[in-house]
Structure 1
Amino acid sequence: MMNCKTNLLVLVLSCFALITFGQRTVAPLPKCKNGFIVIAHRGSHLVKPENSIAAIEEAIELGADYVEIDLRTTRDGQLVLIHNETVDHTTSGKGRIQDLNLDEVAKLTLNAKDGHLYSLPSFMEALKACKNRINIYLDFKQADVAQAYEEIKAAGMEKQVLVYINKAEQYTAWRALAPQMPLMSGLPKLIKKEEMITFLDKMPLEATDNISDPTVVAALKESGLSVFLDVQMADEDPVKWKVAMDKGVQGVQTDHPEALIKYLKTNHLRDGLKASGL
């Protein structure tokens, strides 16, 4: 997720700068029982396939607060979970997801390390698996906003989804159709406090990511935003997690939810550094 979205930030925000949305209001984020948020990137997918129901279920069992999933659309207009534009890397098939009908997608198997067979799930299947069990961090890759929102409502998940937007038109559509839905997008990593205020006046958000300056993080929090850092990588470790926490962020997105949660619990950090008195 991180590589794709980073390249879009400047373009997206330059588009937003042409739009005025008036006074900023804050939609509440999904409720979490823990003070420091753990987001399982594409589910718990070190063994289970990424963006699979099995990876979602494992994230739930581990006690993650959110599961991050990627949303795209098939040729016949069905919403499914997949990160890449093509199915080549993660399934037994070939081609772009937008060129395959749902019945073709249903015949694919996800690449798995445990020898089991897993299918590429629909958005509705993921919503049902998560309802009242874990929140969704929805990376809105390529999908129709109205359709996605209808499926969220049909599943009764309106208060359990945070939407990560990647395009200006996604932002305007979500704000028009579901103004109460919390939205998240990236800001330039080197943004200054004054620039941040201008951006948020034009593009009200509830959350953002990957701001490295602690003073900007503090200013964002004062403005009502949550800040989540991406720490997902093969060599995640306590040093990297502590560096992220020291920036004052509310949570992180990880490829190692089991190890991170164990670290947080062992060091009494499940509610963050301030709560622990460190």
Structure 2
Amino acid sequence: MIAHRGNHVNAPENTLASTREAISCGADYVEVDLRTTKDGHLVAMHDAKVDRTTNGTGKIADMTWQEVEELQVFNRNKKTHRIPEFREVLALCRGKINIYLDFKEADVAETWKQIKAAGMEHQVVIYLNKEEQYGKWREVAPEAPLMTSLPKEIRSRDQLSAFLAHTHIQVADNITDPELLKAAHAMGLSVWLDVQSATEGPASWNEALHKGVQGLQTDKPAEMVSYFKSHVQ
């Protein structure tokens, strides 16, 4: 059970508060988006720009950490939140919850350095958004578990096998074709599905579970945890 951008039902996404909520509700993973400031600070932020979620404007990549640190994250309950540094998220999660790291735009070496410094090497799965990120991660951290989406042209067992022969990943997301799912499992690949939507609930969770996947990313982690404890053995 993966809390998408933290449990952001009661706290703003990608904040320490939403991460604490994900821990409190019993999720297995918290999904965290990673970007880098102009002066090299790793921060938890989904969008390239700060406009949607804060009282500022502009791109994270064009701002210094001091500028980012002063921003206030919009929040329904009026408490002041801020964009956290990645090292803060790591410290909060260590020994309490795993991290699904959505690697947007950041420095690979510095990211792995901070993960190792936090003792979180075995609690993080790195999601790659671009093909060119793969080589750098394999160079810097060959032991790091990686995850990505399959290219759209992969539709058969043979094509999947060929892809995995040169791209060694541990997890793939959003494989829904039954035959491809079966092939992925036979090759030792875990599959996680995104189930967050406006109509997300037990019906969609059960539908996903019946596909035989190993992970579900949700916008309602507290409800999902409660439902699974009550209905799924």
Partner of 1:132 in structure 2? 95
The one-character-per-residue Cα deviations of 1:78-98 (angstroms, maximum 9, x if unpaired) are 100000000000011000001
The one-character-per-residue Cα deviations of 1:253-275 (angstroms, maximum 9, x if unpaired) are 000001111111110x2xxxxxx
Q: 1:155 is matched by which residue type in structure 2?
A: A
Q: 1:138 is matched by which residue type in structure 2?
A: L
Query: Counterparts of 1:178-257 in structure 2 under 5 Å?
Result: 178-188=141-151, 191-257=155-221
| Distance in 2 (alpha carbons) for counterparts of 1:228 and 1:184 | 9
- SS in structure 2 at match of 1:90: coil
Q: Which moved more, 1:219-228 or 1:79-88?
A: 219-228
Could you list the structure 1 runs, at least 4 aligned residues long, displaced by more than 6 angstroms after superposition.
none
Partner of 2:81 in structure 1? 118
Instruction: Specify which structure has the bigger relative contact order, considering alpha-carbon pairs within 8 angstroms and separated by 6 or more residues.
Output: 1
- SS in structure 2 at match of 1:185: strand
Q: 1:69 is matched by which residue type in structure 2?
A: V
Given candidates 59, 69, 72, the residue that maps to 2:32 is 69
Partner of 1:53 in structure 2? 16
Given candidates 105, 125, 131, the residue that maps to 1:142 is 105
- SS in structure 2 at match of 1:227: strand
Given candidates 100, 118, 130, the residue that maps to 2:63 is 100
The one-character-per-residue Cα deviations of 1:181-215 (angstroms, maximum 9, x if unpaired) are 00000014662212111111121110001011122
TM-score when normalising by structure 2: 0.97
The one-character-per-residue Cα deviations of 1:94-122 (angstroms, maximum 9, x if unpaired) are 00001110000111011111110001000
Q: Which moved more, 1:190-199 or 1:79-88?
A: 190-199
- SS in structure 2 at match of 1:221: helix
| Distance in 1 (alpha carbons) for counterparts of 2:199 and 2:77 | 21
| Distance in 1 (alpha carbons) for counterparts of 2:200 and 2:52 | 23
Given candidates 169, 173, 186, the residue that maps to 2:132 is 169
5+ unaligned residues in a row in structure 1: which ranges?
Answer: 1-37, 270-275
| Distance in 2 (alpha carbons) for counterparts of 1:262 and 1:218 | 29
Given candidates 123, 127, 152, the residue that maps to 2:115 is 152
The one-character-per-residue Cα deviations of 1:5-36 (angstroms, maximum 9, x if unpaired) are xxxxxxxxxxxxxxxxxxxxxxxxxxxxxxxx
The one-character-per-residue Cα deviations of 1:199-256 (angstroms, maximum 9, x if unpaired) are 1112111000101112211211121111000001222011111110011001100000
Number of residues of Structure 1 aligned to a counterpart in Structure 2: 232
